[in-house]
Each structure stands twice: as structure tokens, then as C-alpha cells.
Amino acid sequence: MTDLHAATADSPLIAKVRKLLAMAERTPNRNEADAFSRKAAELIAAHRIEPERLRSTVNDELGVLQVALGRGAYVRGRLSLLQAIGDSHGCRTVFEVHDRGTVAMVAGFRSDLESVELLYNSLHSQAASRMAAERRATPAATQQWRRSFMFGYADQIRRMLTATAAEAVQRVHPSSATLPALRARDKRVDEYSRQQFGRVVAARRPKAATATGWDAGKRAASRADLGRARLPEVRAIGSGR
């Protein structure tokens, strides 16, 4: 497998997104911060279907991004969030459990993997900050609520990114002339994933989520800045043990 960071420097698109995120972090005006963050999210969603990028996919290498998901009760929630982001960028996600914890592997074009990594780090940090502030009557109840929160959060992020990507397609080319190029791009990712991952076994379904935690996660995701950078000084939610 190929390490994402060892191969290429930041693309102009990612550099522009990071500049917008830095502007969002620096301004004391909440409306300006939201505007910068939303613009960054739109760029991340739209760059896959820009005609110029689709025509240049021959120069966009395929690779695998590895993401450490840790251990404990929140691993599957983190995986759901990562998969939601990866799917919206035409990537394929699998995972393995090792002695050091669970590791997810995301296959796709490097330009998409950069965006997936940027969004995952940001959205996971935002979720962790909200989850860390929640306490229930017992440690077990707190863990169950937070777990459910993470699944609801991931589900809403998937819906939001899917809608944003669809809007970007219409904005770039209303006649959907870019769709054949997108399908060809997805086919290359599928073939590459089979070569890299081989036979993949479906994971067992996670335990059922509680309605209150799920709904809270969906509400938090609806308010999330889809383009925000990793938040400073967020409290970790722990391993879930």
C-alpha cells in the first residue's frame, strides 16, 4: 500500500481550502467565519466534478490513505464518519483490527484523499468536542449516548455531503455531461481497490443506537462547519473503555 503523505505536496486546491480555513479561524466575526468555512466545504465537494480536473485524471495518481481509529466503543462511529466522507469523494473504505487498534484504509485518487483526510480530521474534532461535554447518569449510559451521537452525526454528514456534491454537479454542468467521466473515475477506483484490498468480508452490524443520542448527533452535524480545520484545544473523548 502507498502512504499518502510520502508522495505529493499539497495541491493548489488544498492550499486554497486551508487558506480559507485559516481566515475562518482568525476572524472574530461569526458570520464571516461561517462564510469562509462554507466556501471551503463547497470547494472540497465541487473539485471532483470540475471538467478541468476530470480531464486531467490521468495525472492524478491512485493511493491508499491509512487512518488510525483507535480502540473501544467509538471505533465503528469513527469508521462510519470516515466512510461517509470517503463515499462522497468516490473513495472506497475498508478496515482491519490489529493489536494496536483498528486501522481504516481509504483507496482513491490522491486529490480526493487529501480532501477526505482534511474533512475527517475537522469533523471528527468537532464531534469529539461536543461529545466530551455530555454526561449521563452512569458511565455506561454516557458511553451509549456518545456512541449513538457519533452514528447520528455520521449519517447526517453523509446526507449533507451527498446533497452538496449533487448541487456542485448541477452548478458545473447542468446537462450532466460530466457524469461519464465521473463513472470512469469511479471504475478506476473500484479496480484499484480490488487490487489493493483483495477479498473483503462484510463487518458485523454495530449495536443499535439510542434515539436521543442519534438525534443529538444529527443536530450537531447540521450545525457543523464542513470546511473547518482541526479545532484547537478540543477535549478527547477517550477510548470508550
The pTM of the full predicted model, rounded to 2 decimals, is 0.73
The 3-state DSSP class for residue 142 equals: helix
In a domain, 238, yes or no: no
Is 197 part of a structural domain of the chain?
yes
Interatomic CA distance for residues 229 and 107, integer angstroms:
22
CB-based contacts of 188, cutoff 8 Å, min separation 6:
57, 62
Is residue 126 in some structural domain? yes
Whole-angstrom CA distances from 19 to 12, 22, 24, 34, 65 are: 10, 5, 9, 14, 23
Query: Does residue 235 fall inside a structural domain?
Result: no
What lies within 8 Å, CB to CB, of 152 at 6+ separation is 209, 213, 214, 215, 216, 217, 218, 221
Domain count, the chain: 1
Q: Which pLDDT tens digits describe the chain residue by residue (241 residues)?
A: 434 433 344 567 777 877 876 776 677 776 676 677 667 767 776 666 555 555 555 557 899 999 999 998 899 999 999 999 999 888 999 999 988 899 999 999 988 898 888 888 878 887 888 888 888 889 999 999 999 999 999 999 898 888 877 777 676 666 656 667 778 888 999 999 999 998 887 777 777 778 888 888 888 887 765 654 333 333 334 444 3
Outline where the chain has alpha helix (H).
Answer: 12-26, 30-46, 51-55, 75-88, 110-132, 139-172, 179-197, 211-222
Nearest 5°: the CA angle 83, 153, 45 is 55
- Residue 51: per-residue pLDDT: 56
Give me the domain span that covers residue 110: 12-222
Domain presence at residue 109: yes
Q: Is residue 100 part of a domain?
A: yes
Burial pattern 193-219, b for ≥16 Cβ within 10 A else e, equals beebbeeeeeeeeeeebbeebbebbbe
Closest residue by Cα to residue 130 from 213, 67, 68: 213
Residues whose CB falls within 8 Å of the CB of residue 17, separated by 6 or more in sequence, listed in order = 40, 43, 44, 115, 118, 227
> What was the pLDDT predicted at 150?
93
pLDDT value at residue 192 = 94
Instruction: Evaluate whether residue 215 is within a structural domain.
Output: yes
Predicted confidence at residue 103, as pLDDT, reads 94
Closest to 226 in 3D by CA, of 76, 90, 121: 121
Spatial strand order of the sheet with 101-109 comes to 62-70, 101-109, 92-98
CA distances from 216 to 119, 129, 172, 240 (A): 20, 13, 34, 19
Residue 227, in any domain of the structure: no
